Amino acid sequence: MESKVKPAEGKLGIMVVGLGAVTSTFMTGVLMARKGLSKPVGSMTQYDKIRVGKGTDKKYLSYSEIVPIAKLDDIVFGAWDVYPANAFQSAMYAEVLKEKDIIPVKDELEKIVPFTAAFDKNFAKRLDGDNVKQCATRWDMVEELRADIRKFKADNNCSRIVVAWAASTEIYVAPNMEVHDTLEHLEAAMKANDTVNIAPSMCYAYAALAEGAPFIMGAPNTTVDIPAMWEMAEKTQMPIAGKDFKTGQTLVKSGFAPIIGTRCLGLNGWFSTNILGNRDGLVLDEPANFRTKEVSKLSTLESILVADNQPDLYTDYYHKVRINYYPPRNDNKEGWDNIDIFGWMGYPMQIKINFLCRDSILAAPLLLDLCLLSDLAARAGRSGIQRFLSFYLKAPMHDYTQNEEPVNHLFQQYTMLKNAIREMGGYEADEEID
């Protein structure tokens, strides 16, 4: 089959906003895998196989056998952060990985020094680093970020750039249809230095798109989840993806809720709580920052177990999500889910799930896949919201102004992902999304 995608020639620059636990774990893992010292476990672009063809013609191919995916060897890393620590120092500070898994790539990690951040303390009160740009307006932030991207691209001889946000969750910025509705309004607000409606993350996204780079939102920020950014993505013909990496508890939820739904069991309540002690947990301990996360985490269930479709089973169930900052656990987040279901004649039952996970170990392969697949999408000429990447995201973007529904069901999302890869590879998309 002929792939319809431009080849992945030259270097791919992956520039990550935030050089914290997730980013340093991601970069270390890629560099270690490149040296043959570790395996990129959890990355679907590196491991998964998709069926193409049917009946006796069917075969299972890896993603790179179907479409041209950039090679790990061709990646160059860049970053921005509020703190000046390089990627080696950041990996050591995060304590996600053992020293023995970092030291072999120390030299390469040390060379990844963050650019100064486009930052506003009002959006993340618990951070106090000083590696920040001094900008008079949000528009100046955009200009400086664009210059960073251009410099990085030239210095590293990259043919393409992807920008991904893996920085702290900002305070919740509600979409404001007088500012976020059109690109013209958004640009005017940036120039007028509207520091309420324009989050620093929006400056990164705008700068990336303006420089011809796809943008991925890994936190629950509303950054690119606004019509003005969709317009910018169309204007620049660039893909955008978001929001919020679907790593631990929500992954389990979006995979488990279909068990209840397909068996037509009822739901009275789903209580999810977490303890974590990394810097992400510290930032999320601030109520305004948690609000952003809460909105994102709550949306999953409502679109899988839908009251309107099954009023006997799913009307008025109680859904609660909590995150508690608990330093002793650091990055090793523990998630508990208590699910109150009911069965035949309404008799109640309970399910308990206790996931002792590692936040950044789960997030790193997602970041890799999202970057490689966004780069692929750009080369395939796809622009705007990439719904096929919903699989990786807690609150998948969708055009809510047109009442478009998000797809949260894990297995529907997987079908969307496989179909997009098949189509880009010149194969038929042949599974219906029910």
Ligand X SMILES: NC(=O)c1ccc[n+]([C@@H]2O[C@H](COP(=O)([O-])OP(=O)(O)OC[C@H]3O[C@@H](n4cnc5c(N)ncnc54)[C@H](O)[C@@H]3O)[C@@H](O)[C@H]2O)c1
Contact residues: ligand X, CB under 6 A: 17-23, 80-83, 117-119, 124, 127, 129, 166-169, 200, 218-219, 244-245, 247-248, 278-280, 359-360, 362-363
- Nearer Cβ to ligand X (3/137): 137
Locate 353 and state its tokens.
Answer: 């799930």
In whole angstroms, the minimum distance from the beta carbon of 30 to ligand X comes to: 15
Q: Which residue's CB comes closest to ligand X?
A: 20
User: What CA–CA distance (Å, rounded) separates 85 from 108?
Assistant: 14
- Nearer Cβ to ligand X (256/392): 392
> Which residues touch 87 (CB under 8 Å, ≥6 apart)?
19, 23, 24, 27, 28, 77, 79, 109, 110, 112
- Nearer Cβ to ligand X (360/386): 360
3-state class percentages of the chain: helix first, strand second, coil last, to nearest 5: 45, 20, 40
In whole angstroms, the minimum distance from the beta carbon of 367 to ligand X comes to: 9
In whole angstroms, the minimum distance from the beta carbon of 143 to ligand X comes to: 16
User: What CA–CA distance (Å, rounded) separates 211 from 162?
Assistant: 10
- For residue 64, count CB atoms less than 10 angstroms from its CB and return exposed for 0-12, middle for 13-18, buried for 19 or more: middle
In whole angstroms, the minimum distance from the beta carbon of 149 to ligand X comes to: 14
- Nearer Cβ to ligand X (145/380): 145
In whole angstroms, the minimum distance from the beta carbon of 318 to ligand X comes to: 24
Give the distance between the most distant pair of CA atoms in the chain.
68
- Rg over CA atoms, the chain: 21
- Nearer Cβ to ligand X (67/118): 118
| C-alpha distance from residue 365 to each of 28, 329, 343 (Å) | 11, 22, 37
Give me the torsion for CA of 417, 419, 420, 424, rounded to 10°: 140
- Nearer Cβ to ligand X (164/380): 164
- Nearer Cβ to ligand X (67/241): 241
SS3 243: coil
- Nearer Cβ to ligand X (254/278): 278
Residue that is written with structure tokens 């009307």 in the block: 315
DSSP state of 172: P
- Nearer Cβ to ligand X (153/297): 297
Cα first-last separation, the chain: 27
- Nearer Cβ to ligand X (22/228): 22
In whole angstroms, the minimum distance from the beta carbon of 311 to ligand X comes to: 33
Q: Contact at 8 Å (CB) between 163 and 15?
A: yes
- Nearer Cβ to ligand X (75/117): 117
Beta carbons within 10 angstroms of residue 290's beta carbon: 22
In whole angstroms, the minimum distance from the beta carbon of 402 to ligand X comes to: 27
In whole angstroms, the minimum distance from the beta carbon of 223 to ligand X comes to: 11
User: What CA–CA distance (Å, rounded) separates 235 from 124?
Assistant: 31
User: What CA–CA distance (Å, rounded) separates 399 from 181?
Assistant: 12
In whole angstroms, the minimum distance from the beta carbon of 368 to ligand X comes to: 13
In whole angstroms, the minimum distance from the beta carbon of 119 to ligand X comes to: 4
DSSP state of 5: S
Q: Which element (helix H / strand E) includes 349?
A: strand 348-356
Q: Contact at 8 Å (CB) between 268 and 335?
A: no
Locate 298 and state its tokens.
Answer: 């709550």
User: What CA–CA distance (Å, rounded) separates 212 from 210?
Assistant: 5
User: What CA–CA distance (Å, rounded) separates 280 from 325?
Assistant: 9
